[in-house]
Amino acid sequence: MNRRKLDQEYASEHQMRREKRRKMRLECRTDIRKANIGSMMPISQNCFRAILSTELEILRKQKSYVFSVTGPSERYINSAIFHIQNLSDAISTIIKGIDSGTHQSKEELQGIKKTLAEVHLPNKNFAMTQIRISRALAWINHLIIRLEDVQNTITITEPVEEKIGQAIACLETQEDAIKSLLSLEDNDTLIAAFRQGQSDVKFCIHSARQAAILNTELEQ
């Protein structure tokens, strides 16, 4: 299976699992609203446990994907695996606590949810964003190398060579800009900046395609 197909299948399945979790949360909220005082806590526990089990399934698939992904540096792969495992371990511990009757109050469940939302989940999400950026850098570097090979191994006209040179310079500029994003510490800021970087890279790719078009026209 090629890399693109694997990415597409993972993204599709990931979205399906997230949708399953969303629907489960909505059903739980409805059940809790309808519950009487005596049954509210057991229903809350069962709902929370079911959602956490779904989250574990998502994390297992995510961990498997990170292990298989090509391109990112080992540093960021290891970081993502570490934080995925940390979140998985925390969730497994909570599920064991629910099963053993350790968590008996609404306040305890709310505290647990807050810890997951404010500590473990943000760390995992941040690590996954870094994986995306590191992989993008590997792809940009690969594209630069391919364009340089064209310059050095194929006879091309001066206008085409100029276009390719512009594309390479553009990609190198964006490579440096995107690489600098890895020093950011806030995930929302990182995602926003990376989206802008991806948009800028598309402009560079457009320059490379213009070179290919020009070369085809000159050969005719």
pLDDT at 91: 92
pLDDT tens digits in sequence order for the chain, 220 residues long: 567 777 888 888 888 888 888 888 898 888 888 888 778 888 888 888 899 999 999 999 999 999 998 899 999 999 999 999 999 999 999 999 888 888 777 788 888 888 888 889 999 999 999 999 999 999 999 999 998 988 887 777 888 888 889 999 999 999 999 999 999 999 999 999 999 999 999 988 888 888 776 666 555 4
- Please state, in angstroms and rounded to a whole number, the distance separating the CA atoms of residues 18 and 84: 16
pLDDT at 163: 86
Q: What pTM does this model have?
A: 0.84
- Please state, in angstroms and rounded to a whole number, the distance separating the CA atoms of residues 146 and 113: 48
* Residue 186 φ/ψ, nearest 5 degrees: -105, 125
- Please state, in angstroms and rounded to a whole number, the distance separating the CA atoms of residues 218 and 20: 54
pLDDT digits (tens, 9 = 90+) for 65-82: 999 988 999 999 999 999
